[in-house]
Structure 1
Amino acid sequence: MIGRVILVGAGDHGRGVLEILLARRAAGLDAPEPVGFVDDDPARRGARPGGLPVLGPVDDLLARREAGLGVVLAIASASAKRTLAARLADSGLPFVRVVHPTAVLGRGTTLAPGAVVGAGVVVAYDTRIGAHTTINLNATVGHDCVIGDCATIAPGVNVTGRVTVGAGAEIQTNATIVPGLTVGEDARVGPGSVVLRDVPPGATVFGNPARVMPQVRRELDA
């Protein structure tokens, strides 16, 4: 039984994940007690984002062996999530799923450990959400979708039915993916884009209709 949780990442995304945990507890739903953050940024030491302390760097978390303690990766960057998931894999600390009480999950939909689902999200039936993936505010995900590990679905996104989103992909604010398409691993879909064809792995697309743009690697603010 996981009774307490530490959030990895004390930035804006971390504060958002904290709000989801607190909303679950305020609604009387099952949720571990958030006890603080860990973050490797020295500038965040001593801060109290959302009223909780930054307890130290990630290595401090690796040294803890507390029964009933879980962890959630509260960062947006796919590459950082992959790195941290690998660092924490041998710690024995379980990854916690975090779902806002206003989110709706259809029958047969599954969430892998570490998945985060924000307020107002609707996920239809028989969809799979990968480990450490974030489905953010008011996004919708249709039926029979597969969302890979460490992906990010930003606020207001509409992923329609039978779409595959590869690991590490970012679908940015208010974009739409029409049915049956594949967004490749580590691809980026720009804000407001309407995707009418498959997106190659690692590509950046933007526009209506979405077109491949010159490659610009941009990590979301952690």
Structure 2
Amino acid sequence: MVGEVGTNRLILIGAGGHARVLADALHLLGRAEGAVVLDAQADLHGTALLGLPIVGGDELLASLRGEGFSEFLVAIGGIRGFGLRRRLFDRAVQLGLRAAVLRHPASVVAGSAVLGAGSQVLASAVVNACAEIGENVILNTGSIVEHDCWVGADSHIAPRACLAGGVRIGRQVHIGVGATICENLQIGDRAIVGAGAVVIRDVPPEAVVAGVPAKAIRRSGP
């Protein structure tokens, strides 16, 4: 099920830098009250993240579900977090939790755009007409997703990155800070586009590209 962040009790999974950004957004949306945070780092347990209690690790997901929590957000960013984010997302859904959709109040989302379960649209991000955003996607601060774009599950569009009209982004793709993807291009699954790159041709799966214009420098896989 898909639900924009509403009135249900919510779990943030992760307590790092990206989690702080989401916690701040929850405060702005009036959704911080009653929310809790889970993180695998034991020395964080019993502390707080911007006022949200860190109550334990993700092994508590099932018990929190039984205590009346019904929504979650995977609060893990970073270029190497794709597999972990997918595993945590799937586990929470299997336990009957609902992936919320977070829209920062300073973001702009077209009425014809589609936001997938667990997607996060942060401050000053723009999602334009007829764009489709997959589940568990991060559209970070100031990113632009232009008309008719498609962004695959688990991908991360970093701050100030821009996808021109008609771009298709595969699954578990990282588009680096300030990168530009020119119109109607395709970026394959698990590809990485370096910060500041300008992509003028399609990028194959698992390629790592950087520079202006962007060129392949290695593969993202093993």
What secondary structure sits across from 2:73 in the alignment? strand
Pick closer, same or farther for the CA change 1:8–1:178 going to 2, 3 Å. same
The correspondence for 1:128, drawn from 132, 145, 150, is: 132
What secondary structure sits across from 2:99 in the alignment? coil
Contact 2:9 2:68 in 1 (8 A): no
Distance 1:32 1:201 in 2: 38
What secondary structure sits across from 1:82 in the alignment? helix
Contact 1:2 1:69 in 2 (8 A): no
Pick closer, same or farther for the CA change 1:201–1:128 going to 2, 3 Å. same
Aligned to 2:3: none
Q: How does 1:1-222 map to 2 (within 5 A)?
A: 2-25=7-30, 31=31, 33=33, 35-64=35-64, 65-67=66-68, 69-76=70-77, 77-215=81-219
Q: Deviations over 1:15-54 (max 9, x none)?
A: 11111111122xxxxx474522001122322231212221
Code of the aligned partner of 2:53: P
Distance 1:197 1:177 in 2: 9
Code of the aligned partner of 1:138: G
Contact 2:32 2:52 in 1 (8 A): no
Identity %: 33
Distance 1:63 1:74 in 2: 19
Query: Quick check: 170-179 or 37-46, which moved more?
Result: 37-46
Distance 1:47 1:177 in 2: 41
Pick closer, same or farther for the CA change 1:67–1:51 going to 2, 3 Å. closer
Distance 2:195 2:34 in 1: 32
Distance 1:84 1:205 in 2: 28
Give the gaps of 5 or more residues in structure 1. Answer: 26-30
Distance 1:22 1:92 in 2: 25
Q: Deviations over 1:106-136 (max 9, x none)?
A: 1310111100000001111001111110001
What secondary structure sits across from 1:213 in the alignment? strand
Q: Deviations over 1:88-122 (max 9, x none)?
A: 22211111110101111113101111000000011
Query: Quick check: 33-42 or 3-12, which moved more?
Result: 33-42
Query: Quick check: 163-172 or 48-57, which moved more?
Result: 48-57
Distance 2:61 2:123 in 1: 28
Contact 2:158 2:174 in 1 (8 A): yes
Count of aligned pairs: 213
Pick closer, same or farther for the CA change 1:46–1:32 going to 2, 3 Å. closer
Contact 2:190 2:220 in 1 (8 A): no
Distance 1:98 1:115 in 2: 6
Give the gaps of 5 or more residues in structure 2. Answer: 1-5
TM-score, normalisation: structure 1: 0.90
